[in-house]
Amino acid sequence: MKHMKAFSMVVIFFCLSHAAFSTAEQLNLAKANKAYSAGSYSVALDLYNKVVEAGYESPELFYNTGNAYFKLNDYAHAILWYERARQLDPGNEDVNFNLNVANTKISDKIEPLPELFYKRWFNGFVQALSVDTWALISVCLFIAGLSGLVLYLASRVLILRKLGFWCALGMFFLSLFMFVFAWYGYSFTKSTHEAIIFAPTITVKSSPDEKSTDLFVLHEGAKVRLLDNISGWYEIRIASGSVGWLPKNSLEEI
């Protein structure tokens, strides 16, 4: 797996950079790092799960949890946690790389429907950074715009007033764009509900009824989009566009 040798450094940095973590959770992360390095992946996984159950979340924590599952050859759970990490940090190269590797280990290789090039480009651009990063850039640009506005209002030198005016206008304009990207990314994440299949083999039905027509078969680790739910069933769509129904207990939401 890519960057596994840097695993301990990632965890140490994660511990030091999240001051909100309690001492107990930092200790659990340190123990998990030690267990992982020693090849005790089950022990490491239990410790990571304790941190998650305590209510903490971050791309690094979810990524490391996915790595532990991968080492245990539990590819469905590895994919689940890599997907959760990618939701928080869609542009993370390590997460995306390991997710792609994990997807080669499962049975279903579903070809997605082609997207219009401009939609694919826009989505790729927005997802290159997390929502929080886009929002932070927007705020920084807005502050820079305010600085330009102050320069325009306070300066008595014509060239500085012009510089301040155009700087403020440009920064406010860019800030608005970054805000739109943040809003779009947030809306996309909140409106898109996906899940991972956790049944070794499951038949997708034409309606929420075991007696309904069989449509197609999915296997453990496949990702589906959730469209609707009723009476213990989810209506799902796979990347190729096929739609059907599955029991709720056969999958786990990302």
CATH number at residue 14: 1.25.40.10
Q: Is residue 95 part of a domain?
A: yes
Q: Is residue 164 part of a domain?
A: yes
In DSSP terms, 219 is beta-bridged to 201
* Mean pLDDT of the 133-142 span: 92
Residue 29 predicted with pLDDT over 50: yes
Same domain as 13, residue 89? yes
Question: Taking all residues of the chain, what is their mean pLDDT, rounded to a whole number?
Answer: 87
Question: What would the pLDDT profile of 75-109 be if each residue is shown by its tens digit?
Answer: 999 999 999 999 888 888 899 999 999 999 998 88
Same domain as 242, residue 151? no
More confident residue, 2 or 113: 113
Instruction: Give the pLDDT confidence score for residue 1 in this predicted structure.
Output: 56
* Mean pLDDT of the 59-73 span: 94
Q: Is residue 9 part of a domain?
A: yes
Q: Determine which of 11-25, 124-138, 181-195 has the lowest per-residue pLDDT on average.
A: 11-25
Instruction: Give the pLDDT confidence score for residue 5 in this predicted structure.
Output: 42
Instruction: Give the pLDDT confidence score for residue 20 in this predicted structure.
Output: 52
More confident residue, 192 or 173: 173
Residue 229 predicted with pLDDT over 50: yes
Same domain as 85, residue 24? yes
Same domain as 12, residue 90? yes
- Total number of domains constituting the chain: 3
Helix axes 7-17, 23-37, angle to 10 degrees: 180
* Mean pLDDT of the 208-212 span: 92
Q: Is residue 224 part of a domain?
A: yes
Same domain as 87, residue 160? no
Same domain as 211, residue 247? yes
Q: Is residue 112 part of a domain?
A: no
Give the closest residue to 93 by CA, choosing from 103, 85, 105, 104: 85
Per the structure, the complete domain to which residue 71 belongs is given by: 4-103
Q: What percent of the chain has pLDDT over 70?
A: 91
